[in-house]
Every structure is written in structure tokens, then in C-alpha cells.
Structure 1
Amino acid sequence: MAGRNRGRGGRRRKLPQVQRVGAYAVIIRAGAGEEPEILLSRLSEKVTPEERWTLPGGGIDHGEDPRDAVVREVYEEAGVPVEVGTEARVQSVHQAKAWRLGRRVNSHAIRIVYDGWVPHDAPEPQTMEVDGSTAEAAWLPLAAVTSGEIPTSPLVTDALDMHRPARMQRLAAYAFITRASDDAILLTRISPRGYHAGSWTLPGGGLDFGEHPREALVREVAEECGLTCATGKLLDVHDVNVVGTAPSGRHEEFHGVHLIFAATVPEDAEPRVVEQDGTTDAVRWVSRDELASLPLLDVVTAALDAEKKAAS
């Protein structure tokens, strides 16, 4: 076998140098059971006879932007649209003796790895490229991948060792509004477009850049409830830190800082959702007795606790 790499006179022949630059994406989402899943591609038998999964992506065409290459490759391998982050991690892998396309070569692979995410309503993965290097694509349990239960290429394990969820911090203002006649509380329900869809929360939302918190609160109550509110004192500053899938589909670590204000609306006010296709799909007055039967976000509990402290 060793003689294959030797020329006349027994001198060792230099292997041809092959350099390849590829772009890939780490795409993670919360699965149906809220357990994280990762989108991977299974290499075809023309690449390896063994079952082996890898990150979606591949070689960059001459003159092609690496992020464009990821978008193209993910669609070819999995049939889903993908958004790609602006930051990347780079891996350099040198194999002095590698088997590539039926011959032994001196291989150098440069791998540019981005964070990627797909919309919630993206179709199930389906390989679009015929007779290529990908046999199939699928969402797989992240725990089974990291434990080694699912066989993967070193690219996957190396990328996951470096992967961190995108960090998102959001400052928001919320209104604690009660009705004097029956002590009911004004609450809104989060639509399927928002995180914690189906849960009930206080009316309010994120601040625009440069916007005063009280002005943001008046705007949000008008958009979500169709009402004009008057803001009162600051009741509490509440925060939450969670890791999950954002409304965009991106794997994020989210830190929300919530300013909870007392606020009032006219006594006979009848709320209605004004903003269409937003993150609020229902709004109504909720009695105190009914609170225990509804899925409430922590910001509601924080407001109720602040109310008790103020009354004591």
C-alpha cells in the first residue's frame, strides 16, 4: 500500500493539495415537546457507507458570499428557507492524507459556521438536490446528537461546542389596570406569533429606541386594547431570563426587563384588539376569581404581588 505514494527511485510522491471553503449553519429550535431539536443532513452513500449526519451547508461557489451559500445549500439539502446571522465561527481542518473523490490528497478544509434559523411555519425538511451528497434532512433531538446516540461528523460536535444562543435583551412597559365596579383586571392574550402563545399577560410591550416608558405604555395600550390610558406610579421592575425559540424561529437566550406601571382607563371602557396580525389576539376584563384558571405570565403575578405590598 505504501508504494502507491512513491515515485521512481522509491522517493515519496507529494500528494495533490486540495483546499475547500465551505459555509454551514447551526439551526436549533424548540420541538413539539419543547425539547430542543437541530436540523441536520444525512450524508449519502456516495460519501460514506455508514450513517452519518452533518450540518446543512457546503462548498462556496467562486465569487459567492458565504451567507448566500448557506441559504442556497440549506434549501438544496433540506428544502426550507433560512435566515443567517452576521457573525460566524471558523474551523480549519488539515488532513495530510485524506480520501477524496477516489484518490488520496493533502486536504485543507476551511469551515465557516453561522447561526441560522427557519420560520415556525417552514415545511418539513425535504432534500431538493437529486443524487447529491445529502440523502435526507431532518429535525433531530439535540440531546441525542450531543450524547452521541445519533452518529455525526466532527463538524457537528465542534460547532456545538462553540455554539451559544443569540442574546436578546428587551425593555418593556406594562400596565396594571383594574376596574372599580368589580375589581376586574385588564389582560391580553398572546397570539401564535408571540412567545408563550395562548398565555395571558398585562397590556404593554417593548419600547422603541428613544421612547419614554410612559409614552410607550400609552401607545401599546391603544394598539392592543383600543383604549387611552393614564399612567400612574411605577409598581415594580420585573425581569425574566429564558432560552427558547423566538417568534422569528431563532434560538435565543432572552432577557426581558419589565416596568410595571399602575394605569387607569375610563370606567365604562370596552377593550378590543386594534392591531391586526400582531402578538395580541384577545383582550378582556378578567375577574379575580378567574385568574387561577388562566395561563398567566409571571409579569401578571409580579403586578399582583406589588399591589398587595402597596396595600399593606
Structure 2
Amino acid sequence: MTQRVQRLAAYAVIVRGDQILLSRLSERVTQQELWSLPGGGVDHGEDPRDAVVREVHEETGLTAEVGDTAHVFSLHLPDTWRRGRRVDAHSVRIVYQGWVPPDAAEPRVVEVDGSTAEAAWQPLSAVLDGTLPTVSLVAQALAAYHPQRHQRVACYAYVERGDALLLTRISPLGVSPGTWALPGGGVEHGENPVDTVRRELKEECGLEGEIGELLAVHDVHFTGTAPSGRHEDFHGIHLVHRATVPDGIEPRVVEEGGTTDAVAWVPLTEILDGKVPVFDVVRAAIDAARAERH
């Protein structure tokens, strides 16, 4: 009777932009070029999520985070070879969505004499069209893969003074560093949106604000890489309130180590002619304010 062999393994799909992190199987596994998801066998008593983090580091040198949910794939090969002998093999593979920091170093193999010969970011297009030879698990995992959905509600202040608008600049810790935004941020759980605007004005500009009526509702929807490095299907909903701040007090950044590194009164002409890079919500708010005047 052919010996039965069952193996439990855990892997990660790690997508960044139009690339996916893969590991090439070593010659001890196959004589052909063949790429796989980073991952491997789950040790006895080991949590599968811990196994993924360990295996990704061993095979790519990168420290990954993994999500809470996974897809499970089963492969039964009743007549195959393992380590020089014929076996009835059954592999159960748990595949998580994973991510690494955007500024992570280039991948490199850490384990010595293991099953991985090389680690690299590979074009998704080459995987999907078959140009890059991969194990069947890669195609199966990508067919079931969806970017993490993330919806964020944020509130902002529209504060004019003469022909200038109060704006904050995104720090290197945020999305699109160097781009200017309206003072504001995410609504905390249970927080009144008006209180959000008031709080953010204080944190980002050092100003006590009087919050007025709702001026505009704006939204943005895109798929991209979050600051954490996670591949996200992002939907942002932006509520913009009119606001006023006291005269004679210059704005200053109060929050240290956050996503704002500068605050200023920016001439509207410099925003409208493109001299100052701003997010779309800024232009949408300006358009709404102009429409109110006509």
C-alpha cells in the first residue's frame, strides 16, 4: 500500500502596485524555473499566521503582517514522488493576504540550504499571462484574491481669510507627502463630525475654530498601497464644513510625529493655477464655495 503523506502549509499573497512577492523553488525541489508564494509547512503546535510570518522572513528577508482571514486550497496527488519515494500526497494550503512596509528592503533569501533559491517582486501581468512559470497555487490564490476594502469617513474645515485658504501639508508619514490638504482627518468611532473638525483644527493648526454649515461632500475611490503597505480598495468620504478662526493668531503644527508637517495660508490663485499641489477635495470645496456666491 502506498504511504499516505499529509502536509499543512501556510502562504501569503503580498501585492504591491502591479507586482507580487514570489519565491523561486531551489534545485533540490525542481530542476525547472518555478515560482511560488512565500510560505511553507506549519510546525506542530504553530499558529498558521505565525508560520506565514516566519516563512516569509526565511524566504524573502522581509517582515510581513497578515490578515485575519484566509482561503484554503486542497491538493491531492494519489501517486507522486516525495524525497525519492512514491507516496499518496495530500496538501492543505492556507493562503492569507499579507503586506510589508512600503520602504522595505529588496527581498533576499535568509534560510540556508532550504527550498527557496531566490526571492523577488515579479510583475503581476507576467504571472497572469503565464510568462513567468509558477506553481498552480499562485494562480488559484490570485483568482480568489481581492484587495482589502477600507472605507474612511473624514471631516475637514474650509477656512478663508481674504484671498487665502488655510491648508496643511502632508508629511512623509502620510499618503502623497508634500501635497496640501484642508485641515481635518478621520472621524473617530462615536465622534460627532463637527467635533472632528474642531479637534483637527486644534491638532493640526493650533487654532480654536467655530464650525459652520456643511459646505460640500466629496468622495474618492481607488485601489492602491496604504501607508502600512497593505493593498487596499479604498473609499474615502469627505465632509467639508465652513469654519472661522480668530484673527491675529498664526497657525502652527501642534501634533508631533503625525501626518502634518506644515500649515499655512495659501493664496487661492496659487491653488487654482496648480503652483501648489492639493488633493481633489480642496478643489471641490473651492468650487462649492464659489457656487454659493453665485
Aligned partner of 2:68 among 46, 71, 86: 86
Contact 1:80 1:123 in 2 (8 A): yes
Q: SS at 1:290's partner residue?
A: helix
Runs of 4+ in 1 over 4 A off after TM superposition: none
Q: Distance in 2 between matches of 1:22 and 1:308?
A: 59
Aligned partner of 1:251 among 226, 231, 242: 231
Between 234-243 and 290-299, report the one with greater CA deviation.
Answer: 290-299
Answer yes or no: is 1:208 the counterpart of 2:195. Answer: no
Mapping of 1:85-164 within 5 angstroms?
85-164=67-146
Q: Distance in 1 between matches of 2:117 and 2:32?
A: 12
The alignment covers a number of residue pairs equal to 292
One-letter code aligned to 1:242:
F
Larger Rg: 1
Aligned partner of 2:52 among 46, 62, 70: 70
- Tell me the residue number matched to 2:178: 198
Mapping of 1:16-95 within 5 angstroms?
16-30=3-17, 36-95=18-77
Answer yes or no: is 1:225 the counterpart of 2:205. Answer: yes
Contact 1:190 1:198 in 2 (8 A): yes
**Can you list the C-alpha shifts for 1:127-163, whole angstroms capped at 9, x where unaligned?**
1100100001111122222222211111111000000
Q: Distance in 1 between matches of 2:81 and 2:176?
A: 49
One-letter code aligned to 1:25:
A
One-letter code aligned to 1:133:
S
CA RMSD of aligned residues (A): 1.0
CA-CA distance at 1:97 after TM superposition: 1.4
- Tell me the residue number matched to 2:283: 301
Q: SS at 1:244's partner residue?
A: strand
Q: Distance in 2 between matches of 1:225 and 1:233?
A: 20
CA-CA distance at 1:104 after TM superposition: 1.7
Q: Distance in 2 between matches of 1:224 and 1:294?
A: 19
Return 5+ residue gaps in structure 1 as ranges: 1-13, 31-35
Q: SS at 1:266's partner residue?
A: coil
Contact 1:179 1:267 in 2 (8 A): no
One-letter code aligned to 1:93:
L
Answer yes or no: is 1:260 the counterpart of 2:240. Answer: yes
Answer yes or no: is 1:273 the counterpart of 2:260. Answer: no
- Tell me the residue number matched to 2:157: 175
TM-score scaled to structure 1, two decimals?
0.91
CA-CA distance at 1:267 after TM superposition: 2.5
Q: SS at 2:268's partner residue?
A: coil
Contact 1:92 1:110 in 2 (8 A): yes
Q: Distance in 2 between matches of 1:191 and 1:241?
A: 22
TM-score scaled to structure 2, two decimals?
0.97
Return 5+ residue gaps in structure 2 as ranges: none
Between 207-216 and 270-279, report the one with greater CA deviation.
Answer: 270-279
